[in-house]
Structure 1
Amino acid sequence: MTETPAPKWAKPALEFGPILAFFAAYLWLKDHTFEIGGTEYAGFIVVTAGFIPVFLLAMAALWRLTGHLSRMQVATAVLIVLFGGLSVWFNDPRFFKMKPTLIYLLFGGLLGIGLLRGQSWLQVVMDGVMPLTDKGWTILTQRLTVFFLGLAVLNEAIWRTQSEEIWVYFKTFGLTAAIFVFFMTQGSLFRDHALAEEETGDDKDDKEGET
């Protein structure tokens, strides 16, 4: 029996669907207060509590669909469960708002540690996605390290100085747009440091010859 390939929209829908669902639910419930077990919970906390299982179900479906999850997706899931759970447990939205800060600090910090060791850990994770020279990977890793650390600082500034609603808009659209713009501006890097098809083909032949 031949398996039917998953539609192309399924993967992005599973990745971004829970985020958009969080945004829509927040707009719907932001001005509501719910009493559960004698404790009052703001709409933000209720939406956060609902977001955690929705996100985990989406990641499980994505794993079933693709057969794997990236280290970044796994780390994100762990932090969402941890800090989302803390926000619900302590009835304090600050934990969940700090989650993007810690995610980007984690990613930026790990890339930075790799650079200090003379390695591009980004290359290890994404080498099959973007064939670049070693120098290209180093430059991209340096830029992405600074970018992630900048996003961590920006998230802290937004949630600590702006309203909750502004932070939700920033988290839903601002962070996604920032990452998209970052990679769009790396066109010259990808062009100048891309591996030629002949070179990648030679590498592949060499690996096959070694086996």
Structure 2
Amino acid sequence: MVSNETKGTAAQDSGSQQLLKFVVELGPLVVFFLVNARAGIFWGTGFFIAATTASLIASRMLFGHVPIMPLISGAVVLIFGGLTLYLQDELFIKLKPTIVNSLFAAVLFGGLAFKKSLLKYLFGDVFALTEEGWRKLTFRWACFFVCLALLNEGAWRFLSTDQWVTFKVFAIMPITMVFAISQVGLLQRHALAPPTDE
């Protein structure tokens, strides 16, 4: 039988790991913001690419794998960041969030069209939900990614470059966290009951 102390230690380790993952994934955005503020969008993009690469390597070394969503996002950063620097056109790095979020939305909606809740394959080891729960959660996140893509389209078209970078770093992350927290009710309603020990 597992003691309460052992459970508490495991929960603490899990919380520490989640915090470390958050720091590793947030790091490139902070680097992007700071370098852009001091040296402009092109230097910011260059450091963003380097920091994203370092973040992916750090994830592999610290956690043994690279989560699929940061991996896809990182690949798009490398491609569109590279185009930004090569062509000296900031439009490409501004389009990156639109493309990434649209891609995530398309994949999730596509999975639902084939009756596959793809979030289950990504987070099935974190949450235990009913099939209806996974379907609803996947649909909501797909819709949210569409909203993020539309937000970015409005932001880069109507804000200055510095304002867009600030919006990307300091608005998108809180919006995403608020949305994630708002799904707690759904997670609770559709949680599978843990198996009982006989």
TM-score bin (small chain): 0.7 to 0.9
Whole-angstrom CA distance in 1 between matches of 2:171 and 2:27 = 16
Q: Which has the larger radius of gyration?
A: 1
Tell me if the contact between 2:106 and 2:142 (Cα under 8 Å) persists in the aligned partners. Answer: yes
- Return the alpha-carbon distance in structure 2 between the equivalents of residues 192 and 54 of structure 1: 39
Counterpart in the other structure of 2:49: 52
RCO comparison, higher one (Cα < 8 Å, 6+): 2
2:30 alignment counterpart: 20
| Deviation digits for residues 102-153 of structure 1 (CA, Å, limit 9, x no counterpart) | 0000000000000111110111111111111110000011111111011101
Which residue, out of 110, 115, 118, partners 2:115? 118
Q: What CA deviation, in whole Å up to 9, does each residue of 1:151-194 have, x standing for no partner? A: 10110011011111221111102111111011111122011101
TM superposition score normalised by structure 2: 0.87
Consecutive unaligned residues of structure 1, counting only runs of 5 or more, are 30-42, 203-211
Amino acid in structure 2 at the alignment position of 1:56: T
- What number of residue pairs does the alignment pair up? 183
Given candidates 169, 180, 183, the residue that maps to 2:180 is 183
Larger helix proportion, structure 1 or 2? 2
Letter in 2 for 1:152: A
| Residue ranges of structure 2 left out of the alignment (5+ in a row) | 1-12
Q: After the TM superposition, which residues 22-171 of structure 1 pair with which residues of structure 2 at under 5 Å, given as runs?
A: 22-29=32-39, 43-171=40-168
Tell me by how many angstroms 1:11 deviates: 2.9
Give the whole-Å Cα distance in 1 for the aligned partners of 2:65 and 2:59: 8
Q: CA RMSD in A?
A: 1.8
Helix, strand or coil at the partner of 1:197: coil
Identical-residue share of aligned pairs (%): 34
Is the 2:42–2:88 contact (alpha carbons within 8 Å) kept by the matching residues of 1? yes
How far the C-alpha of 1:10 sits from its partner, in A, is 3.8
AA aligned to 1:12 is F
Aligned to 2:3: none
Q: Tell me the CA shift for residue 73 of structure 1.
A: 1.4
Task: Report the 3-state secondary structure (helix = DSSP H, G, I; strand = E; otherwise coil) of the residue aligned with 1:118.
Answer: coil
TM-score, normalised with respect to structure 1: 0.82
